[in-house]
Structures are given as C-alpha cells and as structure tokens.
Amino acid sequence: MRFTVSEKQELIKMVVESDLGVNRTLREIGLNKSTFYKWYKSYSDHGVEGLESIKRGTRRQWNSIPQEQKNLVVELALERPELSSRELAYHLTDNQQIFISESSVYRILKSRGLITSPAHIFISAGDEFTDKTKFVHQMWQTDFTYFKIIGWGWYYLSTVLDDYSRYIVHWELCSNMKSDDVKRTIDRAITKAKLITKQRPKLLSDNGSCYIAKDVKEYLKESVGIDQIHGRPGHPQTQGKIERYHRSMKNVVTLDHYYAPEELQNALEKFVHYYNNERYHESLNNLTPADVYFGRGDAILTERKRIKKLTLLARRKEYQREILSQSFENQNKINSFESARNSN
C-alpha cells in the first residue's frame, strides 16, 4: 500500500504520541517497523521533502553488482568497443576473475548509453556439417577469398580452418589462385599443426578449379594422405564456417585501403591473432578457437564455474553484512527513540 506524504506525517505523529509504546502501536496499525524508522529518520533529517523522496523497493538484492564492478564494465567497454556484451562478460571472468552475467553487462551498458556491438556484423551462415566433428584435426575447411590492393591489383587469401575448434591453422596471401597455391597452403598447415604421419584430417573445399585440379587430388591422396570432400555445387553454406570467417574478417580488414601487399599482410596478421586468441565464440561455449584447439577449454570452463561461485558468495556475504549492520542501526534507533520518549 502506498502512503501519501500527509498520511506518513500523520502515522509518525500517531506513533510518537502513543501511550502504547512504539512496537505495540506499529503492530496495532499494521506498519512495518523498518518502514516506520526509515520514514522517521528521513522526516527528522529532511522534513517533508524527506518523506517525498522515499521510494518503495529501494533495498538492493543480495546479488546486486557492486558499483566498482559496474564501473569496470564501462571502462572495459570504452577500451574494447569491438567486444559485444556477451564477449565483455567472458572477458571479465577470464581476465579480471569477476563473474557478471551477459544480461547484466547488457543492462549496465544500456543504462550508460554504451550498448556495444562488434565493429562488424557476423553474417549468419549454415555452418553445421551433416556429421559434426568431435575432435581437433578431424576435418579442415579451406577456401580462397580476394582483396584489391591499390596499384597492385588483386591478391588472394588462402585459409585453412580447423572445423572442430574454428582455429585458423594457416593462411597466406597469394598473387594467384592456382593448384600450386593450394598445395603450398596445405603443406604449411600440416607443418604448423605438427601432425604425425598417420594423423591426417579430411579436407573440405568447394568445387573451384584449383581444388578439383588433377594434380591437387594426386597431391592430397598420394603425397600427404588426405581425403578430400567437396561441398555441394551451388551451395556454399556447406563450407559455412570458413565462409563466415572470411566474411567477418573482410568486414573488418576492408575498412581500410591498402597500397602495398605488406600493409594487407600486417592487417591480416592482426585479425587472425584476434580471431584465434581473443574472440569468444558462442558455439564453442564462449571459448576462443585457441582455447579449444590447444585443449585448455575444459580447464577454463571449470575455472569460470569457480569464479562464478566465489563472486556470488562474496555478494551474498556483503549483503548479509549490510543487513546485519542495518539491523543494529535500527535497534539503536529504537533504543534512542524510546529513551527520548520516556524522558519526555
């Protein structure tokens, strides 16, 4: 029930002047003790204006986020505007050992007018293969995409992506898009991955001329022992993960103009490092591709659970401390009030 200012004044006067005592009077009129003392203190300190400023439901919940942690969310959002609310939440857990839910991060940023989103839009794609991979190096996806360098013409980016972890195993910028470029890319990917002789992934590619060339098929089968899988013609979504990666990468990298291959090379290196090591993928339990690729995902998820438990426990303890402190304060008010009333 809401009380007007005049009703609050009348109730305060009734309790103060009652001969029944404070507790009994409050019981008789059905008014909560803590509510009365909140009114009484505000009225004593600020007069009628104090009663007007009191709002219902101002007591914070036990799991309320401390102001210093809210400030930390805002600071991080300003420092890393490329991170979404979801990515900010997991960045805080992994790097600051603080658990704040994705929805809470979103609300904090919204209240400050700082709703963050990636600097680029990740375009939806059918990135699930019929038979999902279950471990690293079970299958790789490979594809080309292209860039135009001012004064140099077209250059082609050849990429090998691990299907299970989405980790970029290898990439290189090529002046052509031929079978030799495919073979060189795969060779270097195998070297970087440090695969043993019998450990060979399947290779998923589209039906581009460089991937269906006879010498590529012979190289894959006879030289490196890799089985090749082709996507369905006219259906690029089969290679959804690498298609999506290339689109996401180009939405960032092509924001700038490049006047030499070295400039584009440097930009690609930065993005691949970010993508592999810093970008949290929702489909990977909000781990980075490197976390999954190098097998540290389970340890990180376990640590996140521990941090969440400790964070919530700390909030509950702080809440209980505040409640206890408020209880002592209220009791002191009651004693002071009763003492002053009896002396009169």
Q: What is the tens place of the pLDDT at every residue in 287-327?
A: 999 999 999 999 999 999 999 999 999 988 888 888 888 77
Percent of the chain with pLDDT strictly greater than 70: 86
Average pLDDT, the chain: 84
CA 292 to CA 280: how far, in whole Å?
Answer: 11
**15, part of any domain:** yes
pLDDT in tens, 239-264: 789 999 999 999 889 878 898 999 99
**181, part of any domain:** yes
User: Looking at the structure, do residues 145 and 187 belong to the same domain, yes or no?
Assistant: yes
Q: In which domain, by residue range, is 5 found?
A: 1-58
Q: For residue 39, give the nearest of 108, 30, 48, 286 by alpha carbon.
A: 48
User: Looking at the structure, do residues 52 and 77 belong to the same domain, yes or no?
Assistant: no
Under the banding of pLDDT at 50, 70 and 90, the label for residue 227 is very high
Tokens, residue 12 = 């305060």
**344, part of any domain:** no
pLDDT at 131: 67
Under the banding of pLDDT at 50, 70 and 90, the label for residue 9 is confident
pLDDT at 144 over 50: yes
pLDDT at 44 over 60: yes
Q: Cα separations (Å) of 21 from 14, 337, 339?
A: 11, 10, 11
How many domains, the chain?
3
pLDDT at 233: 61
**145, part of any domain:** yes
User: Looking at the structure, do residues 246 and 231 belong to the same domain, yes or no?
Assistant: yes
Half-sphere exposure of 75 (CA within 13 A, CB side): 8
- What is the domain-level CATH number for residue 164? 3.30.420.10
pLDDT at 340 over 70: no
Please give the residue that has the higher pLDDT: either 26 or 190. Answer: 190
Please give the residue that has the higher pLDDT: either 238 or 268. Answer: 268
User: Looking at the structure, do residues 164 and 203 belong to the same domain, yes or no?
Assistant: yes
**133, part of any domain:** no
- Of 29-43, 45-59, 74-88, 138-152, the one with minimum mean pLDDT is 45-59
**247, part of any domain:** yes
User: Looking at the structure, do residues 17 and 77 belong to the same domain, yes or no?
Assistant: no
Please give the residue that has the higher pLDDT: either 36 or 269. Answer: 269
User: Looking at the structure, do residues 29 and 76 belong to the same domain, yes or no?
Assistant: no
pLDDT at 237 over 60: no
User: Looking at the structure, do residues 267 and 151 belong to the same domain, yes or no?
Assistant: yes
pLDDT in tens, 90-131: 999 999 999 999 888 888 888 887 764 444 434 344 445 556
pLDDT at 324: 83
pLDDT in tens, 156-176: 999 999 999 999 999 999 999
Detail the DSSP E strand segments found in 150-282: 153-162, 168-174, 202-205, 228-230
Q: For residue 208, give the nearest of 179, 187, 185 by alpha carbon.
A: 179
Taking the CA atoms of residue 286, residue 289, residue 293 and residue 295 in that order, the dihedral angle to the nearest 10 degrees is -30
User: Looking at the structure, do residues 222 and 304 belong to the same domain, yes or no?
Assistant: no
pLDDT at 298: 95
pLDDT in tens, 176-207: 999 999 999 999 999 999 987 677 899 999 98
pLDDT at 70 over 50: yes
**328, part of any domain:** no
Q: For residue 290, give the nearest of 166, 125, 179, 196 by alpha carbon.
A: 166
Report, as an integer, the average pLDDT of 23-47: 79
* Bridge partners of residue 204, in order along the sequence: 141, 229
**331, part of any domain:** no
User: Looking at the structure, do residues 159 and 301 belong to the same domain, yes or no?
Assistant: no
Q: What is the pTM of this model?
A: 0.70
Half-sphere exposure of 323 (CA within 13 A, CB side): 10
